A and B are shown apart, each in its own frame.
Chain A
Amino acid sequence: TQLLEQSPQFLSIQEGENLTVYCNSSSVFSSLQWYRQEPGEGPVLLVTVVTGGEVKKLKRLTFQFGDARKDSSLHITAAQPGDTGLYLCAGDSAGNQFYFGTGTSLTVIP
C-alpha cells in the first residue's frame, strides 16, 4: 500500500474565499487523479494529471502535479456551497490500480 496523505483533513470556509488542499506521498506516481465525493454518493473523477509540473484548470479549480510526481495540490478560487464535499486524491504507480488518499472534507458556508 502506498500512503497518500492529504491536508488539511477538515476545512470550513466562507463562500467566496480561496483554498488549497494538498496530497503528499513518498512514492512516485505515473499519474494522479482528484475525485470529489458528495454525501451518500460515490467519488466522481475531476481530473487526471500525468506529467511532472503539469497544471490543469477546471473552471474555478486548479490542479498541479509536483515536478517529482510525488505530490499534488488542488486550489479552489471563490469557493461556493456547491464545492462542499470530500476531496480525494488517488495515485497510480504500477499501472494497475489507484491508491486513494485520506481525503479532505470541505464545507463552504453560504
Chain B
Amino acid sequence: DAGVIQSPRHEVTEMGQEVTLRCKPISGHNSLFWYRQTMMRGLELLIYFNNNVPIDDSGMPEDRFSAKMPNASFSTLKIQPSEPRDSAVYFCASSTDMLYGYTFGSGTRLTVV
C-alpha cells in the first residue's frame, strides 16, 4: 500500500494565482480530510468527505477555498486567488474507521509570495 499520496510536495506561487492541491487516499478508505498546518494555528481541519460527499466544510477559511472529491480515489483543494496568508503545509488524510485513526499524506508545502 502506497499510503496517502499528495502532490505536489512543494508549491511556490505568486499572489493572485490559482493553486490546486491533489490527494489520492488509501484504497478502501471512505473518509477523506483536508488539514492546514501553521506554527501559529497548529493543525486545522478545513473540510472532510464521507463516501465522496462533503460533510463539514466549516473550517474552509473563505470563498477562495474549494474542495472536490469526484470519486473515491481522488480529491482536490483549490485556492483562487491565493494570498500570502495562505502559506502553510496542507495535509490530506484518509480513514476507514475512527478508532483506527487517520493516515496522513506527506503534505504540500505552499508558499505564496
Contact yes or no, A44 B104, CB < 8 A: yes
Contact yes or no, B98 A31, CB < 8 A: yes
11 further contact pairs, Cβ within 8 A, besides A45-B100, A97-B56, A101-B42: A31-B99, A33-B101, A40-B106, A41-B107, A42-B91, A95-B98, A96-B55, A97-B45, A99-B45, A100-B43, A103-B43
Instruction: For chain B, give the interface size range.
Output: 20 to 34
Contact yes or no, A41 B106, CB < 8 A: yes
Contact yes or no, A98 B102, CB < 8 A: yes
Q: Chain B nearest CB: distance from A20 CB in Å?
A: 20
**How far, in angstroms, from A99 to B41 measured CA to CA in the complex?**
13
Contact yes or no, B105 A100, CB < 8 A: no
Q: Which 10 A-B pairs have the closest CB atoms?
A: A42-B104, A45-B101, A100-B43, A102-B42, A42-B91, A43-B104, A33-B101, A48-B99, A41-B106, A42-B105
**How far, in angstroms, from A42 to B3 measured CA to CA in the complex?**
11
Residues of B near A97 (CB, < 8 A) are 33, 45, 48, 56
Instruction: Please report the number of residue pairs spanning A and B whose Cβ atoms sit closer than 8 angstroms.
Output: 50
Residues of A near B45 (CB, < 8 A) are 97, 99-100
Residues of A near B91 (CB, < 8 A) are 42-43
* B93, CB-defined interface residue at 8 Å: yes
Residues of A near B98 (CB, < 8 A) are 31, 92, 95-96, 98
Contact yes or no, B55 A50, CB < 8 A: no
Which B residues fall within an 8 A CB radius of A? 4, 33, 35, 42-43, 45, 48, 55-56, 91, 93, 98-107
Q: A95-B98, A97-B45, A97-B48 are in contact. Are A42 and B93 (CB under 8 A)?
A: yes
**How far, in angstroms, from A106 to B45 measured CA to CA in the complex?**
23
Indicate with 1 or 0, residue by residue over A8-45, a CB within 8 angstroms of chain B CB atoms.
Answer: 00000000000000000000000101010000111111
Q: Nearest residue in B to A50 (C-beta to C-beta)? A: B99
